[in-house]
A and B are shown apart, each in its own frame.
Chain A
Amino acid sequence: MPLLEVIGMSHYFGGLRAVSNYNLSLESGQIAGLIGPNGAGKTTIFNLITGIYQPAEGEVRLNGTNVVGKRTNQIAALGIGRTFQEMRLWRHMTVLEHVKMARYSKLSYGLFGAFLDSPQRRKEEKKSTELAMEYMELFGVDQYADQLVVNLPYGAQRRVEMARALAMEPKVLLLDEPTVGMTPEEMVDMIMVVRKAHERFNLAIFLIEHRLRVVSELCQNVQTLVFGEVLVEGTPNEVQNHPKVIEAYIGDQEIDF
């Protein structure tokens, strides 16, 4: 049984069919990629899987259980983590606070314990800080622990976002253009970060990318999405040289061989 399975998913914006009969099967430990021109519906698919949008048709199964209709926070708690193309960080909170926020559901002290500063609160917050530090070390942002994210270099902000997503202990990680806006050096660095996360946590990763180099280095399997439909699916090599894919991308400056 696949870890994450999407079956016959469609979605409409008004009368426009944004995603059409979309299917995905992701095994535990597998890295898959999603490429396609701008406006093809890639981020919409992420939003549908994470429950931000409700699919009009189809199912999203995590470990065999359909999660369509569940709230976003419930789906996240079941083990789907995600990052954003535009990195939605909380500008004026510290790096440590970002990563600790991901541990929210793992801390069990209540509202009264919070106000009365109970020993349980202290113990749990201390443990959460220690764990957060481990995640920050793993992604090389521990030296920024008490700095506001807004003051960090771009690459480090990206790594904070990764640390935050992984501190939730997801089984599946969705990465929305993790190397967007990066220099070639930063991109290589990011590929290593994704690999590290993959090896360390045995994650299933599904990533959206425009840079084929990232896709071919990381993914075993790639889908090409055009106008909300999967045009070609296969290994990075097969997809890259497929005439339909080349045709779909002609004139699109975004692609970066």
Chain B
Amino acid sequence: MTFNFLMQNFINALQWGSFYALIALGYSMVYSILMLFNFAHGDIFMVGAYIGLGVATALLALVGTSGAALLPGWLILVLTILISMFLTAFVGIIVERVAYRPLRDAPRASAAITGLMIGIILETSNILFLGGSRLKFPQLIESVTYNIGGVYVTNKKIMIVLVSLGLMLALHQFVRRTKYGMAMRAMAYDYLVIPLMGVSMNRIAAMTFAIGSALAAAAGILFGLAYPVLDPYMGVSFGWKAFVAAILGGRGSIMGACIAGFMLGFIEIMTVPAIQILNRLFALNIGSNLRDLIAYSIVLLILIFRPHGLFGEAYSAKLRL
């Protein structure tokens, strides 16, 4: 049990947390403005990953037919991320239009159910059109492993963490400094006044879904780079766990969603070395397959002591920085 081993896990936890944080943001933003959780969000992450697969494949084919390697791998990756974020944003807009807007005045439970149904529709459509078999995500960049003082880090892991942090920072600036971000925050406080400012509530709602979905798509592609096998149900457990992160962070808090996403990654990943340490110290025999049981018991404990989440406030679930 060395320091290196812990560092290794630490880096894995950062990567894992990036996925949770990016997805949790979508839950938190939508909740704060509509007071509804978009339960299709995990499946939008899945759709984003598949769209990324399609875009990457198309770009590779395009480069392949034009002969030489005109585009380096990293550029294809950047293009894939940007194009897929753009396309997945429209999936989010459609989900809002079809499943949420018509039910805005309906009982909350009904709108939650429609989200779940959209999720099932997305999963089964995927099986219908793509056959349900697992697909391999093309590896757009060569994997390079660096050895930093005995800790092995791949260029992909570094890139995944940096891209995620970059996106979170961009979102933070967007919400803080632009008129759209301001409208989203204002709508979270009092949506009735928004139209009286000449602003269409429907547009702000659609925009929120679009941004959340684009972030989920980025998470999907980054996930595909790290774990290059996609399947139609990949969004289910990921979605639920990111949902846990959104609640743990405090509903509506952007920073909370990010930090709780990383925290969840740490709790999950670090549970395994913790089990190993305990086993060695006390000569126990706890299986590491108990990881999720232990990790989520910890989350449950945190919520018992902080029922409004880490950055949540008792009186409001409004969009905050």
The answer to whether A binds B is yes
Q: List chain A positions with a Cβ less than 8 A from chain B.
A: 50-52, 71-73, 76-77, 81-82, 84, 88-93, 97, 100-105, 107, 109, 111, 114-115, 117, 121, 125, 128, 164, 168
Nearest opposing residue in chain A for B191, CB measure? A88
CB atoms of A76 and B174 under 8 A apart: no
Interface residues of B in 164-198 (CB under 8 A from A): 170, 173-174, 177-183, 185-186, 189-190, 192-198
Q: Contact: B198 with A111, CB < 8 Å? A: no
With A101-B182, A107-B179, A114-B174 as given contacts, are A73 and B189 in contact (CB-CB < 8 Å)?
A: no
Per-position 1/0 for B207-218, Cβ under 8 A of A: 100000000000
CB pairs A–B below 8 angstroms (28 shown): A73-B196, A73-B197, A76-B196, A76-B197, A77-B198, A88-B190, A88-B192, A88-B193, A90-B193, A91-B316, A92-B320, A93-B182, A93-B189, A97-B185, A97-B186, A100-B182, A101-B179, A101-B197, A101-B199, A102-B198, A105-B197, A105-B198, A109-B179, A115-B170, A115-B174, A117-B173, A121-B178, A125-B179
B-side interface residues toward A, CB under 8 Å? Answer: 170, 173-174, 177-183, 185-186, 189-190, 192-201, 207, 316, 318, 320
Chain B residue with the shortest CB-CB distance to A51:
B195
User: Is B183's CB under 8 angstroms from A125's CB?
Assistant: no
New contact pairs (13) apart from A91-B316, A125-B179, CB-CB < 8 Å: A51-B195, A52-B192, A73-B196, A73-B199, A73-B201, A93-B182, A93-B189, A101-B182, A104-B199, A105-B198, A105-B199, A109-B179, A121-B178
CA distance A128 to B177 in the complex (A): 12
Cβ contact within 8 Å between A71 and B185: no
Which among A91, A93, A104 is the interface contact of B197 at CB below 8 angstroms? A104
What CA separation (Å) do A76 and B200 show in the bound complex?
10
> In the complex the two chains form, is B200's CB within 8 Å of A73's CB?
yes
* A90 x B190 contact (CB < 8 A): yes
Decide: B196 and A82 in contact? CB cutoff 8 A: yes
Contacts of B320 in A (CB 8 A): 92
